[in-house]
Amino acid sequence: MIRSPLITVMSEAVIKASRSLKRDFGEVEALQVSIKGPGNFVSNADRKAETILREALEKARPGYGLVMEESGVVEGTDQSHRWHIDPLDGTTNFLHGIPHFCISVGLERDGQMVAGIIYDPIKDEMFIAEKGKGAFLNNRRVRVAARRELSASVVGCDIPHLGERTQATTLREIATMSARAAGLRSYGAAALDIAYVACGRFDAFFGRGLKSWDMAAGLAILREAGAFASDAEGGADPVAKGHIACGNEALHRELLDVLKTARATQPAA
């Protein structure tokens, strides 16, 4: 596994925040059966984990900017570096006591994602990558799956929440994809889904309505695992567009073709 000073800083911050999340998840499992529900509790758990991450990263790398799900953008004195932080990806799962969520931290340097960690605290699985040093799941090097046809592939997808503007497009894409792929899966934590492509559990993944903190770490990990990633139209900047398609070279190409077909079925305005 990578043991550079940068990865050490990131992994220590993530592990520290994960202890807080695991404690709070134990409380949520009890709270979720109440009539009121644990919504406020989960929001507090999210913010607490983000504070832990922010404090640890600012201490280790003062001056770096931050882009955070809960606290927004913090400009740093170092204009070349920015952390992209999601303290709890899979909030709805967490809210319902479903043990599938993660912490995601990516580092951007001069516009490129150069390092990422995605940590599933329940399974104790840490996906790590740093530019030029490979991608790892715990102590094992990982690579994207080698399947070359969608008909033999399991594809992950992100289903937007009710009322999101991308929902209609995504549902058309899912319908089109389901006729081409061996199977579709949506587990409710986009960062983990992207990490699953990097380690070969998913053969490909597509999702819309995503933010930089959903994708930043994953993009660094995908690249080091040999995957191809673009926005859903094949463009080079998924973060700017807010959508992503990824897989090995052959499946990425076929994935984009399916998504294009789905868009062509869009009803006229």
Range of the domain at 250: 150-264
Assign 162 a pLDDT band (cuts: 50, 70, 90).
confident
Looking at the chain, the whole-number percentage of residues with pLDDT higher than 90 is 82
- Both 9 and 132 in a single domain? yes
- Which residue among 141, 173, 202 closes a domain? 141
Q: Residue 243: inside a domain, yes or no? A: yes
Same domain flag for 75 and 135: yes
* Residue 85 resides in a domain: yes
Shared domain for 187 and 241, answered yes or no, is yes
Q: Looking at the domain assignment, is residue 203 inside a domain?
A: yes
pLDDT of 136 strictly over 90: yes
Mean pLDDT check: name the lowest of 38-47, 108-117, 166-175.
38-47
Confidence of residue 250 (pLDDT cuts 50, 70, 90): very high
Of 95, 115, 141, which marks where a domain is finished?
141
pLDDT of 163 strictly over 80 = no
State yes or no: 75 annotated in a binding site: no
Tokens of residue 136, six digits = 């790892």
Q: Are residues 137 and 158 in the same domain?
A: no
Q: In this predicted structure, what is the pLDDT of residue 269?
A: 47
CA distance linking residue 229 with residue 206, whole number of Å: 10
pLDDT for the residue 267:
62
* Average pLDDT, integer, range 148-172: 91
Mean pLDDT for all residues in the chain: 93
- pLDDT value of position 2: 87
The reply to whether 27 and 97 lie within a common domain is: yes
- pLDDT at residue 161, as a whole number: 78
Do residues 167 and 71 both lie within one domain? no
- The Cβ of residue 6 has, within 10 Å, a number of other Cβ atoms equal to 16
Q: Is 193 annotated as a binding residue?
A: no
| 24 marked ligand binding residue | no
Note whether 131 and 154 are same-domain residues. no
The alpha helices in 158-211, defined as continuous H runs, are 167-178, 190-198
Helices (H), 87-179: 91-95, 167-178
Does 60 fall in a domain? yes
Q: Say which residues have a Cβ less than 8 Å from residue 10's Cβ, sequence separation at least 6.
A: 57, 105, 107, 115, 117
Reading the block at residue 28, the tokens are: 């949520």
* Token pair belonging to 66: 């931050």
Is residue 181 a part of any domain in this protein? Answer: yes
Residue 221 sits in a domain whose CATH number is: 3.40.190.80
Pairwise CA distance, residues 172 & 145, whole Å: 26
Could you give the number of structural domains in the chain?
A: 2
- Is 214 annotated for ligand binding? yes
Among 88, 120, 141, residue at a domain's last position: 141
Q: In whole angstroms, give the CA distance from residue 262 to residue 236.
A: 20
pLDDT the model gives residue 266: 67
Pair (118, 237) in one structural domain: no
In a domain, 124, yes or no: yes
What is the model's pLDDT at position 259? Answer: 97
Residue 35 has what pLDDT?
46
Per-residue pLDDT tens digits for 61-88: 999 999 998 899 999 999 999 999 999 9
Question: According to the annotation, is 69 in a ligand binding site?
Answer: yes
Q: Provide the 8-state DSSP code for 186.
A: -
The secondary structure element, H or E, covering residue 79 is strand 78-89
* 146 token code pair: 């080698």
Would you say residue 140 has pLDDT above 70? yes
**Which of 154, 155, 151 shows the shortest CA–CA distance to 170?**
155
128 or 161: which leads in pLDDT: 128
- By residue count, the chain amounts to 269
pLDDT tens, residue by residue, 26-50 = 887 666 545 445 655 677 889 999 9
**Which residue from 168, 175, 223, 212 is spatially nearest to 190, judged by alpha carbons?**
212
Closest to 89 (Cα-Cα) out of 166, 175, 195: 195
Residue 269 maps to a domain: no
Does any domain span residue 162?
yes
Strand ranges for the chain from DSSP E: 64-68, 72-74, 78-89, 102-109, 112-120, 125-130, 135-137, 140-141, 154-158, 183-185, 204-208, 228-230, 243-247
Residues 240, 180 share a domain: yes
Report in angstroms the alpha-carbon separations of 175 from 118, 180, 226, 265. Answer: 29, 9, 28, 11
Same domain? For 92 and 38 the reply is yes
Percent of the chain exceeding pLDDT 70 equals: 94
- Whether 256 and 223 map to the same domain: the answer is yes
Two tokens, residue 158: 């992100």
Closest CA to 204 of 262, 263, 135, 257: 257
- CATH code assigned at 98: 3.30.540.10
**Are 76 and 41 in a shared domain?**
yes
